[in-house]
């Protein structure tokens, strides 16, 4: 049976429960868990509005109706194995793959080193760390202040 990860207003179907979740994520396995969650009715409406093909609403009338409708909608979401594009990671040879290689080295990489390797601006590099690496690829990016500046490392990447 599938489970669903709610992160903000984005819902992701997963075939098996992950071992770790980000701080802002909730693992859902039933309508009862949606109803028992700490999500407000307005947050539940935002989640509904983020689902594909659903008409926009401002709020749900009550938590029970929200949980029932959301659970039914979640079950329509495709599992990763049913999706056409694999979610394994970035394309080999892409700039994202290059950045992951830099960050998985024992010495890690600074924003400046990633900028040199990719030609990106600093805000683009930091956006990649927070967006694609942490949220999309679910990698754990850590940073530490060292002699050469703030150094970033990926600690749970699977080598390609």
Kindly state the greatest CA–CA separation across the chain.
56
Burial of 67 (0-12, 13-18, 19+ CB in 10 A): buried
**What pLDDT shows up at residue 14?**
83
Of residues 85 and 98, more confidence is placed in 98
**What pLDDT shows up at residue 157?**
56
7-36 pLDDT tens trace: 887 888 887 777 788 888 888 889 999 999
Range 25-34 burial, b when 16+ CB lie within 10 A, else e: bbebeebeeb
Please choose, from the candidates 85, 99, 49, 96, the residue with its C-alpha nearest in 3D space to the C-alpha of residue 70.
49
- Whether the model clears a pTM of 0.75, i.e. scores above it, the answer is no
Instruction: Map out the domains of the chain as residue ranges.
Output: 3-82, 95-154
**What pLDDT shows up at residue 52?**
82
User: Which band of pLDDT confidence, cut at 50, 70 and 90, is reported for residue 87?
Assistant: very low
**Chain centre distance of CA 118:** 23
Using an 8 Å Cβ cutoff, are 79 and 3 in contact?
no
- Considering the domain 95-154 in this protein, what is its CATH number? 1.10.10
Mean pLDDT of the chain: 84
Work out the number of other CB atoms within 10 angstroms of the CB of residue 69.
18
User: Which band of pLDDT confidence, cut at 50, 70 and 90, is reported for residue 84?
Assistant: very low
Task: Give strand pairing partners of 10.
Answer: 7
Distance, CA of 110 to CA of 148 (rounded, Å): 8
Tokens representing 52 are 């594909």
């Amino acid at each position: 049976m599938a489970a669903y990860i709610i992160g903000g207003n984005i819902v992701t179907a997963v075939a098996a429960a992950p071992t770790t979740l980000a701080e802002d994520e909730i693992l859902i396995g039933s309508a009862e868990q949606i109803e028992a969650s700490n999500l407000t009715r307005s947050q539940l409406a935002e989640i509904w509005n983020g689902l594909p093909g659903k008409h926009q609403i401002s709020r749900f009338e009550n938590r029970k109706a929200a949980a029932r409708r959301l659970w039914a909608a979640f079950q329509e979401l495709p599992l990763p194995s049913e999706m056409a594009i694999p979610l394994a990671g970035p394309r080999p040879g892409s700039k994202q793959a290059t950045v992951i290689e830099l960050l998985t080295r024992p010495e890690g990489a600074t924003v400046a080193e990633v900028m040199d390797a990719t030609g990106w601006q600093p805000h683009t590099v930091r956006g990649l760390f927070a967006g694609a690496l942490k949220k999309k690829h679910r990698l754990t990016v850590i940073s530490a202040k060292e002699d050469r500046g703030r150094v970033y490392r990926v600690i749970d990447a699977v080598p390609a």
